[in-house]
Amino acid sequence: MDRANVKCQDLTPFIPFIMFTGASGGHIMPALAFRKHFPNSVLVAVKTSASEEILKGVDGVMFIRPLALKKIKLSAIADIARVIFFAREFKPEKILCFGSYLNAVGTFCAKISGVKLYFFEPNAVPGKGTSLLKYFADEIFEVFPGAGEGLKKNTVFCKFPVSALKYGRDDARGKLGFDFQKPVILILGGSQGSGFINDIILRLLPKLGFAQIIHITGSADFGRVNKAYNAHRGNHLIFSVSRNMPLFYSAADTAVSRAGAGTLAELAFYKIPSLLIPYPLAAAHQERNADFFSKSGAAIIIKQRNVTENNIFEAIEKITFRDFWKFSENLAKISLSDDGSDLAEKISGE
């Protein structure tokens, strides 16, 4: 096996886990948080510019180039073969899949290696990777109550692993150069950004002079969004992507966001009242994720088809001022995420 494919400086023959993820932060970040409990584990991810940015400088990573069924590339097949041979040579204790079509590669590696297979299902609606391969898994760990319905009997509830790094509010604001007294709103659309959210916020900028804004745009939209903010007087920070989210979460009062499971887990961990605009596609799983927060009184949901400038502005005012403490109290009752300890303890006991 060519170890050059694994960026590990001190790879030992014993590997607690091989973890399979997709290309998005929603797959990769919980795997990284979980791996802090098992540092010799290896992470396998889909290779894209986004995943390479997230995993820059991280040891113990193997990449598989994107595999499109309509145009299967030999390079991607070769990557998969290297991972399979690696799993057979350095037989892990367990294999844990965090979603995407790499669940299938993880399942195959588990079967040929004869090791236990686990799925982590972060969404309220199970993804295709979990649904199609559920009968092969020894256990499926779910985050949202009820997500396991229709999967299989051996589902186990666990908390979503997040980085869990927190700063004091004033410390975070001081590091970012923000006024301690003025509200900070975090705008984000997941690891890829959201053009729709970017557009509506840019139209509302003239009305948002009461706030300081941290806006994560996504790589594709950074240029035009940054230009718009440069023309708008205010104390704002604009990023295409960020690997320093704990600092931003610690500084923020409220958020406007999509409703990916990872983002919601982080908002719950940092207790940030939010306006959620779920991405309407992808089997509407973001809408189901958001429903959990709405029913708990911890967020406002406005579906994308119902968005107007007026109702978005009113919702931002509500979570930032009128009902901030009400939303904060309801968030305090939600225990959806931790530093990965819960999943580590439960999977170790299997």
Phi-psi category of residue 146: left, alpha or beta, with phi > 0 → left and psi -120 to 50 → alpha: left
Phi-psi category of residue 299: left, alpha or beta, with phi > 0 → left and psi -120 to 50 → alpha: beta
- Helix, strand or coil for residue 162? coil
Q: What is the pLDDT along the chain (350 residues), one digit of tens a residue?
A: 444 445 444 445 689 999 999 988 889 999 999 999 999 999 999 998 888 988 989 999 999 999 876 667 889 999 999 999 999 998 899 999 998 889 999 999 999 999 999 999 998 888 888 888 999 999 999 998 776 676 777 889 999 999 989 999 999 999 999 999 999 999 998 667 788 999 999 999 999 999 999 999 988 889 999 999 998 878 999 998 887 899 999 999 999 999 999 999 999 999 999 999 999 876 578 898 999 898 999 999 999 999 999 999 999 999 999 999 999 999 999 999 999 999 999 999 76
> Measured between alpha carbons, how far is 5 from 15 in angstroms, rounded to an integer?
16
pLDDT for 7 equals: 47
pLDDT for 131 equals: 84
Q: Are 257 and 276 in contact (CB under 8 A)?
A: yes
pLDDT for 1 equals: 40
The pair of structure tokens assigned to 349 is: 């006991």
> What is the residue whose two structure tokens read 């006024």?
179
The whole model's pTM is what?
A: 0.89
Domains of the chain (ranges; CATH) run 3-159+339-348 (3.40.50.2000), 169-332 (3.40.50.2000)
